[in-house]
A = this chain, B = another copy of it.
Amino acid sequence: MGLIVKKYGGTSVGSIERIQAVAEKVHASALEGNQIVVVVSAMSGETNRLLGLAAEIDADASPREMDVILSTGEQVTIALLAMALQKLGSAAVSYTGGQVAIQTDNAYSKARIKNINSGRIKSDLAEGSIVVVAGFQGVDDRGSITTLGRGGSDTTAVALAAALQADECQIYTDVDGVYTTDPRVVSDARKLDKITFEEMLEMASQGSKILQIRSVEFAGKYNVPLRVLSSFDDGQGTLISLQEDSQMESPLVSGIAFNKDEAKLTIRGIPDQPGVAYKVLGAISNANIEIDVIVQNVAKDNSASITFTVNKTELSAAEALLRKIAEDLGALEVDADKNIAKVSIVGVGMRSHAGVAATMFEALSDEGINIQLITTSEIKITVVIDERYLELAVRALHSAFELGDDDQLKD
């Protein structure tokens, strides 16, 4: 029993039947004695319908007016869910973002929450009401409607949970939790009962499909326990929280993240001087091209080489820019490779254990997989390899770190 913020996304409220199903789950949870705030998205398809209407008028319509029209999507859902809860006999009241004073900056379409005045919600909860709040939206200082951008409903839920000091923020999705890795690649991938905020962030390539990264950061910052669970099945999902100190033995590795969306660029034979990395990467980033992995090495002849990855869709733009830079710097050569993949092992346990990297490299070597790049952080080791070996690498690592269901049963 406690104060719980529950968030249901567009698919979970995609039809009248699904809204009724959500109402039944929320109603049941309230009957168990919980105080509940529900954050909902627009019914799936609705946001695209509204975008379509706007695009017929102006493909490049003003962001302020886009937010006015898009915010109606969630407003429809809150009313319908409140009605469905009332029909079941729950007291329920719906609010738009503006009505519960979710104050944001005025960056229309990608606003950031500055403050929430939770007084009204608290008094409704105290009176025994279930409070239904429109996700994804707020108001700026002038009272203009803003939206937090797609997926912003997760952020609304976490921000409300933080403001209300909720016991838990539950994000209902179409998956039943966070897995050790993608079950489509490794058949015995295991659902994690718990994971830390840091691990969840590092698992981004998997996690971003489940949770908005921004909401995980937010939850970590305010220490809001976050639970990912399925809208459609029962189950406890995965709890994302701070690492408990009492937990003496964390698993070395919690999960394996990967992606194939990136391409690799290398510039070789540049003078090894201060400012060179900035000259190379500053120009790329000034062109608004996002850079992920960066590795620099110095060769025997004291010339340096820098390798970095960008999204495959931006490879040609980045390569053209890099060739120009290479000319300016008198560099030896530029190399582009889009047939690469990135694999990471993630775990807070590796902080205090040596040998994790060795196990990783051994497992890849046993499969004859060449490692092109290595970068490390406190709780993650990332390698870049040939794209064609990706699935093989993930399965080998999953097995080497004994992450599967079968491995667990053996213990």
Contact = CB atoms under 8 A, between A and B. Distances in A.
A183 interface: no
Interface stretch (A80-88, A162-170, A317-325, A332-340): A80-88
A104 to B, nearest CB: 15
Contacts of A75: 68-69, 71-72, 75
Interface stretch (A58-66, A243-251, A255-263, A293-301): A58-66
A56 interface: yes
Quick one: which of A61, A66, A78 has the most chain B CB within 10 A? A61
A57 B19 contact: yes
A94 interface: yes
Given A75-B75, A86-B58, A143-B99, A53 B80 contact: yes
A20 interface: yes
A223 B268 CA distance: 81
Interface string A93-113: 110101100000000000000
A396 interface: no
A56 B86 CA distance: 14
A291 interface: no
Nearest to A53: B80
16 contacts: A19-B57, A20-B57, A50-B76, A53-B76, A54-B83, A58-B87, A64-B93, A65-B79, A65-B94, A68-B79, A69-B76, A69-B79, A69-B80, A72-B76, A96-B145, A99-B144
A15 B94 CA distance: 30
A185 interface: no
B94 A57 contact: no
A329 interface: no
Contacts of A62: 82-83, 86
A58 B83 contact: yes
A82 to B, nearest CB: 5
Contacts of A371: none
A144 B72 CA distance: 15
Interface of A: 16, 19-20, 50, 53-54, 56-58, 61-62, 64-66, 68-69, 71-72, 75-76, 78-80, 82-84, 86-87, 93-94, 96, 98-99, 143-145
A134 to B, nearest CB: 9
A65 B53 contact: no
Copies in the complex: 2
Nearest to A139: B99
Contacts of A53: 16, 76, 80
A94 B80 CA distance: 25
A94 B68 contact: yes
A65 B82 contact: yes
A54 B68 contact: no
Contacts of A98: 98
Contacts of A145: 96, 99
Nearest to A101: B143
Given A72-B72, A76-B69, A83 B57 contact: yes
B83 A65 contact: yes
Would you list the 8 A-B pairs with minimal beta carbon distance, nearest first? A69-B79, A72-B72, A68-B79, A61-B83, A16-B56, A65-B79, A58-B87, A57-B83
A84 B56 CA distance: 10
Contacts of A65: 79-80, 82-83, 86, 94
Contacts of A71: 75
A69 B87 CA distance: 16
Contacts of A58: 83-84, 86-87
